[in-house]
Amino acid sequence: MRYAYKSLIKILGLKRIGVNKKVNQESLEVIKTDTIIGKHVYGNLYGCDKKMLSNVELLKKLIVEAAEIAKMTLIEVKSWKFGGEKGGVSVIALVVESHIAIHTWPNYEYAAVDVFTCGEKSDPDESFEHICRVLAPKKVVKHFADRSAIQY
Q: Which has the closest alpha carbon to 39: 107, 109, 138, 121?
A: 121
Is 103 assigned a catalytic role?
A: yes
Q: Which has the closest alpha carbon to 1: 120, 134, 123, 110?
A: 123
Q: Which has the closest alpha carbon to 13: 4, 23, 1, 2?
A: 23
Q: Which has the closest alpha carbon to 109: 136, 130, 134, 128?
A: 136
Catalytic entry in 90, 99, 118, 148: 118
Catalytic entry in 98, 122, 127, 132: 98
**Angstrom distance (rounded) from CA 112 to CA 19:** 30
**Angstrom distance (rounded) from CA 120 to CA 147:** 13
DSSP 8: P
Is 40 assigned a catalytic role?
A: no
Catalytic entry in 103, 122, 127, 132: 103
Q: Which residues are catalytic?
A: 98, 103, 118
